[in-house]
């Protein structure tokens, strides 16, 4: 199960919890809550482990879950365990000697990754727009791919010392092969 399959999981379970609570089955409802929490955590662990084992450098947008939590988007943002996933990526990345950067996500959806013009869809109301064409250079974009490109280039611009990325570059002296070996043994430890 990918981390993002877990997003829907909570919502389906919500109905069941609601029904249990209405019928006064408090303990069963609580048990269901715990199950959801475990599933979400498990999905975040698996996804972050896969990312850390596959990539040397990972750049994550700093989606403000607190700000979004006040909107109608709240449920899906909280469902996805975004904050948890970021924490897992950071500590696992640090152990494995990876570069994990958290970058400012401002304008990464609006900005055209080809020419930089702010011609894309903006605001919560336009979240439904999945594909768009840059009015400036004519390039057509997939919303998520375009935003990911912008986040990645924001990561290259601001170097390695970004807030949230505590490990210093000097600590990452070992060669690529020893890093991979470390990552491998770490994965074994996790699996054991
Ligand atoms: Zn453009």
Within a domain: 183: yes
Within a domain: 125: yes
Q: How far apart are CA 38 and CA 42, in angstroms?
A: 6
Within a domain: 87: yes
Reported as a pLDDT band with limits 50, 70 and 90, residue 8 is: low
**145 or 8, which is more confident:** 145
Q: How far apart are CA 119 and CA 133, in angstroms?
A: 8
Instruction: Supply the range of the domain harboring residue 99.
Output: 47-191
At residue 161, the pLDDT reads 42
Q: What is the pTM for the complete model shown?
A: 0.68
Question: Helix or strand or coil: residue 102?
Answer: strand
Q: How far apart are CA 45 and CA 127, in angstroms?
A: 27
At residue 179, the pLDDT reads 39
* Interval between CA 114 and ligand 1 midpoint (Å): 5
Mean pLDDT, residues 79-106 taken together: 89
Within a domain: 7: no
* Interval between CA 133 and ligand 1 midpoint (Å): 8
* Interval between CA 120 and ligand 1 midpoint (Å): 9
Mean pLDDT of the chain: 78
Within a domain: 160: yes
On the question of pLDDT at 154 being above 80, the answer is: yes
**87 or 71, which is more confident:** 87
On the question of pLDDT at 174 being above 80, the answer is: no
Domain count, the chain: 1
Within a domain: 128: yes
* Interval between CA 124 and ligand 1 midpoint (Å): 21
* Interval between CA 46 and ligand 1 midpoint (Å): 36
* Interval between CA 141 and ligand 1 midpoint (Å): 9
Within a domain: 42: no
Within a domain: 40: no
At residue 57, the pLDDT reads 94
The residue written with tokens 């070992």 in the block is: 174
């Amino acid at each position: 199960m990918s981390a993002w399959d877990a997003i829907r999981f909570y919502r389906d379970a919500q109905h069941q919890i609601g029904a249990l609570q209405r019928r006064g089955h408090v303990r069963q409802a609580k048990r269901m809550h715990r199950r959801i929490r475990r599933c979400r955590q498990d999905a975040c662990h698996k996804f972050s482990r896969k990312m850390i084992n596959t990539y040397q450098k990972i750049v994550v947008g700093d989606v403000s879950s607190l700000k979004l939590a006040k909107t109608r988007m709240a449920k899906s943002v909280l469902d996805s365990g975004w904050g948890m996933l970021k924490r897992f990526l950071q500590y696992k990345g640090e152990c494995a000697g990876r570069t994990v950067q958290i970058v400012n996500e401002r304008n990464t959806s609006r900005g055209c990754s080809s020419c930089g013009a702010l011609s894309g869809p903006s605001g919560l109301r336009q979240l439904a727009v999945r594909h768009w064409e840059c009015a400036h250079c004519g390039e057509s974009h997939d919303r998520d791919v375009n935003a990911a490109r912008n986040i990645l280039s924001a990561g290259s611009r601001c170097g390695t010392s970004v807030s949230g990325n505590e490990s210093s570059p000097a600590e990452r002296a070992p060669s690529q092969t020893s890093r991979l070996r470390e990552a491998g043994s770490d994965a074994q430890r996790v699996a054991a």
